């Protein structure tokens, strides 16, 4: 994250550096619709961006699996802006979605990690995440770097539109500057997370629940566990639980709640109560200093407080670490999981 922010944040002159996108900020601010195309973890980063652009800049956003978009007959045209997100910059489905949207006249922006990659070259403009090479197949730092860049884009667009006040803008920049040290603080909980992973090493299923900006984080937590430990895991918006998944809850079901202190907090607390009433085993990601949730649940992992819109940058880290430790304890190769390729080029 620090690498991704380096050179971009200039709190003192209230200026965000977004590479080639700087020249296109007016287009972003004027558009009525953004369509995000991506796959896997990058798609989850896109879902975070949906909340950010809608909340901050009041722009309508649709987030599409590139792998489906290319096979539909999507309504897209020259008034739309497409944001393609990809770590490798080589994902065939994302590239095909870009070509389709481009052929209909849409403007294409890219958020890629690999400089000069096929996707980066196919876009009209973009910002690199500069996360450095991903050694493992499963995206981890790519996700946080993508969310960082998308957050900067949403903030810059909102400011260009006059949709956020200068005071809020300044506050967000100050908070963003604190994120790298807060991420380091989350890593200080690694031993605790390892102990929790030990207890659940042989679980057969996991459920991840979150609301608002923590919903895509729940999806990403579940995907990470699936990818590297091969445990079946599902993420849902916590409010969807009562529409089906609640039937799965019993004393053998670990449920990971994203329960940080944000505007969904009270509702998440009542979702936790619903799961505990059915004897589910709850691991809650909470904000440091929260005293309400710990006595209600089986395990807690704390993350530092931050501005609500920056929450995913912190709340995803314990989930990545949990997946990592569970996978290692199960003897999995976390860098090279079976059946997965770093770039899905076909």
- The maximal CA–CA distance of the chain, rounded, in angstroms, is 56
d(CA 326, CA 201): 5
Q: Is 40 in the site for ligand F1P (CB under 6 A)?
A: yes
Helices 311-329 and 166-187: crossing angle, nearest 10°? 20
The neighbouring-strand residues paired with 301 are: 285
In the annotation, is 342 catalytic?
yes
Query: Going by DSSP bridges, is the β-strand pair 125-128/107-112 parallel, antiparallel, or unpaired?
Result: parallel
The region of 16-24, 48-56, 136-144, 194-202 touching ligand F1P under the rule CB under 6 A is: 136-144
**Which residue, 229 or 271, is less far from ligand F1P as judged by CB?**
229
CB-count burial class (<10 Å; 0-12, 13-18, 19+) for 73? exposed
Shortest distance, position 250 Cβ to ligand F1P, whole Å? 31
Angle at 134 between CA 132 and CA 139, to 5 degrees: 120
Closest by alpha carbon to 254, among 222, 227, 220?
222
Task: Point out the catalytic residue in the list 161, 194, 276, 342.
Answer: 342
**Which residue, 41 or 287, is less far from ligand F1P as judged by CB?**
41
Q: Is 342 in the site for ligand F1P (CB under 6 A)?
A: yes
Q: Is 41 in the site for ligand F1P (CB under 6 A)?
A: yes
Question: Per-residue contact track with ligand F1P, 81 to 120, x per CB under 6 A?
Answer: -----xxx--x--x--------------------------
Nearest residue to ligand F1P, scored by beta-carbon proximity: 40
**Which residue, 42 or 264, is less far from ligand F1P as judged by CB?**
42
**215 and 43 Cβ atoms separated by less than 8 Å:** no
Query: Going by DSSP bridges, is the β-strand pair 9-10/15-16 parallel, antiparallel, or unpaired?
Result: antiparallel
Three-state secondary-structure class, residue 111 = strand
**Which residue, 40 or 74, is less far from ligand F1P as judged by CB?**
40
d(CA 40, CA 109): 18
Binding positions for ligand F1P, 214-243, rule CB under 6 A: none
Q: How many residues line the site for ligand F1P (CB under 6 A)?
A: 16
* Spatial CB neighbours of 217, under 8 Å, sequence gap ≥ 6: 44, 48, 210, 258, 311, 312, 315, 316, 319
d(CA 78, CA 124): 13
Question: Per-residue contact track with ligand F1P, 42 to 61, x per CB under 6 A?
Answer: x-------------------
**Which residue, 175 or 234, is less far from ligand F1P as judged by CB?**
234
d(CA 265, CA 211): 9
d(CA 325, CA 129): 26
Query: Length of the chain, please?
Result: 346
Q: Is 29 in the site for ligand F1P (CB under 6 A)?
A: no
Q: Is 4 in the site for ligand F1P (CB under 6 A)?
A: no
The region of 6-14, 37-45, 148-156, 183-191 touching ligand F1P under the rule CB under 6 A is: 37-45
The region of 49-57, 182-190, 320-328, 338-346 touching ligand F1P under the rule CB under 6 A is: 338-346
Shortest distance, position 110 Cβ to ligand F1P, whole Å? 11
Q: Under the rule (CB under 6 A), what is the footprint of ligand F1P?
A: 39-42, 86-88, 91, 94, 137-139, 340, 342-344
Catalytic residues: 342
């Amino acid at each position: 994250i620090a690498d991704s922010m380096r050179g971009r944040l200039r709190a003192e002159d209230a200026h965000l550096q977004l590479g080639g996108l700087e020249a296109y900020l007016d287009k972003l601010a004027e558009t009525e619709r953004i369509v995000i195309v991506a796959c896997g973890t990058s798609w989850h980063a896109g879902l975070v961006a949906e909340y950010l652009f809608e909340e901050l800049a009041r722009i309508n956003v649709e987030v599409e699996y590139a792998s489906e978009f290319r096979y539909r007959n999507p309504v897209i045209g020259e008034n739309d802006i497409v944001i393609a997100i990809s770590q490798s910059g080589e994902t065939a489905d994302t590239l095909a979605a870009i070509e389709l949207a481009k052929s209909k006249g849409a403007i294409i922006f890219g958020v890629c990690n690999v400089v000069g990659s096929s996707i980066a070259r196919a876009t009209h403009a973009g910002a690199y995440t500069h996360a450095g090479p991903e050694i493992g197949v499963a995206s981890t730092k790519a996700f946080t770097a993508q969310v960082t860049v998308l957050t900067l884009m949403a903030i810059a667009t909102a400011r260009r539109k006059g949709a956020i006040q200068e005071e809020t803008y300044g506050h967000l920049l100050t908070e963003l500057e604190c994120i790298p040290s807060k991420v380091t603080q989350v890593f200080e909980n690694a031993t605790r997370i390892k102990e929790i992973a030990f207890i659940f090493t042989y679980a057969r299923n996991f459920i991840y629940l979150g609301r608002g900006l923590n919903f895509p984080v729940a999806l990403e937590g579940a995907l990470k566990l699936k990818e590297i430990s091969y445990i079946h895991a599902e993420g849902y918006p916590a409010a969807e639980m009562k529409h089906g998944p609640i039937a799965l809850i019993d004393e053998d079901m670990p449920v990971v709640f994203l329960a940080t202190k944000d505007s969904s907090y009270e509702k998440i607390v009542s979702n936790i109560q619903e799961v505990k009433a059915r004897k589910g085993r709850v691991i809650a990601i909470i904000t440091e200093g929260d005293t309400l949730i710990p006595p209600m649940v089986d395990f807690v992992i704390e993350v530092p407080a931050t501005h609500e819109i920056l929450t995913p940058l912190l709340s995803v880290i314990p989930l990545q670490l949990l997946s990592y430790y569970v996978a290692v304890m199960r003897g999995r190769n976390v860098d090279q999981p079976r059946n997965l390729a770093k770039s899905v080029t076909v």
